[in-house]
Amino acid sequence: MIISKTPLRISFFGGGTDYPDYVFKHGGMVLSTTIDKYIYITLDKINPLSEVKYKIAYSKLESCNTLDEIQHPSVRECLRFVGITEGIEIHIMNDLPAKTGLGASSTFTVGLLNALYTYTNKKVSKEQLAKDAIYVEQKLIGEKVGLQDQAAAAIGGFNKITFEQNGDIKSTPLNLDQSKSNELQNNLLLFYTGVQRFAEDILNEQISKTKEGSINTDLSAIKHMVDKGHQLLTQNQHANFGKLLHEAWISKKKLSSAISSNALDNMYDLAMQAGALGGKLLGAGGGGFFVFYVEPKNHAQVRTALKEYQEIPFRFDTHGSQIIYQ
C-alpha cells in the first residue's frame, strides 16, 4: 500500500501568464504558496479475489476491467501514462472541495503520479513530476489548464515559479524567517464563496483573448506584479503586499467577463469596507475561495462582515507532494 499527500495552493500574482498560449510566446511567472490542506491518495494491488481489475473510490465508486472503462479522466490517463497493467485499487480523499480555485484537479494528478511512480519504483525530480502532470492533463486528457498548479503541488512551499518559453520550470523559494512568515500567514484570511465551478467554463473567454493577444498588456502587468510582490515580502512591506493584491484583483477581472459577478463583487466590497487592504478570488474565478490581506486589528470586523461565508483557517505548507506511507 502507498499513500501520497499533496498540498493545495494559494496563488497571489501571475495567474493567467502560465497558460501555454502566453508562456510559449512571452514566458510566464507566478508567486504562490502551498497550504496545509491536502489531497490524499491511497493505492494498492487489487484483492486477488476481486471480480474486477480496477476499483476507484472518490465521490463515485468505479469498478472496471479495462482502462477505457474508467470514467475519472486523470486516473485513466495516469495509469496509461505510467504503464500500469496489473489490477489496482485507488482511494481519494480531499480536505477541501474540488472546483474551488485551489488547484485541486492538478494537485490530484501530481499526487497520483507520485504514488504510481513510487509503486513502480521510479524516481523523478519535483520538476519532472510537475512536467509529467502537465503532459497528462494537457495532452492526454485535453484539459485547458495552465502550468502553475502542477508546479506548486509538486515543488511545495512559497515560491516564485518561472515558466520559460522552452518549457522549463524554475522555482525561487521565498526565504522569510519564521517570525515574518507567521506575520504574513496571520494577515491572510481565506473565505469560501459557496460556489463550485468548472475552471474550463470560466477560462474559455480568457484563453481566446490570450490567443488573440488582446490581453497581452494586462497579462504583462500581472506578470510584473510577481517580482513586485516578491520584493515587497523580502523587504517586509507586508501591508503594501496586501494593497498589491487589490491591484491584482482589478487586473484579473479585465481578463474575462466570467471571472467575477455581482455577488462576488459584493463579497469583496464587504471585506474591503470592513478593513481588508486587498484580496483576490483564487484560481480561474467565478467562485471558489477569496483570500484577503487583513491586519489583525481588523480581523473581527472582516469576519463580521463576511459572517455568511465559511472561513477556512490555514497555514503554509513547505514540502510539496510526499509519500507518507509505503
pLDDT digit string, tens, across residues 169-212:
999 999 889 999 999 999 999 999 988 766 666 677 777 888 88
pLDDT value at residue 198: 66
Half-sphere exposure of 43 (CA within 13 A, CB side): 24
- Tell me, rounded to whole angstroms, the distance of Cα 187 from its chain centroid: 20
pLDDT value at residue 99: 86
Q: What is the mean pLDDT of the chain?
A: 94
The secondary structure element, H or E, covering residue 189 is: strand 188-192
Q: HEC states along 280-321?
A: EECCCCCCCEEEEECCHHHHHHHHHHCCCCEECCCCECCCCC
Q: What stretches of the chain show up as alpha helix (H) in DSSP?
A: 20-26, 73-82, 104-119, 126-135, 148-155, 178-186, 199-212, 216-234, 238-253, 262-273, 299-305
Q: 215: pLDDT confidence band, cut at 50, 70 and 90?
A: confident
Report which of residues 253 and 140 the model is more confident about: 140
Q: 117: pLDDT confidence band, cut at 50, 70 and 90?
A: very high
Angle between helices 148-155 and 126-135 (to 10 degrees): 150
What's the average model confidence in pLDDT over 26-33?
97
pLDDT value at residue 152: 98
What's the average model confidence in pLDDT over 115-120?
98
What is the distance between the alpha carbons of residues 223 and 216, in angstroms, rounded to a whole number?
Answer: 10
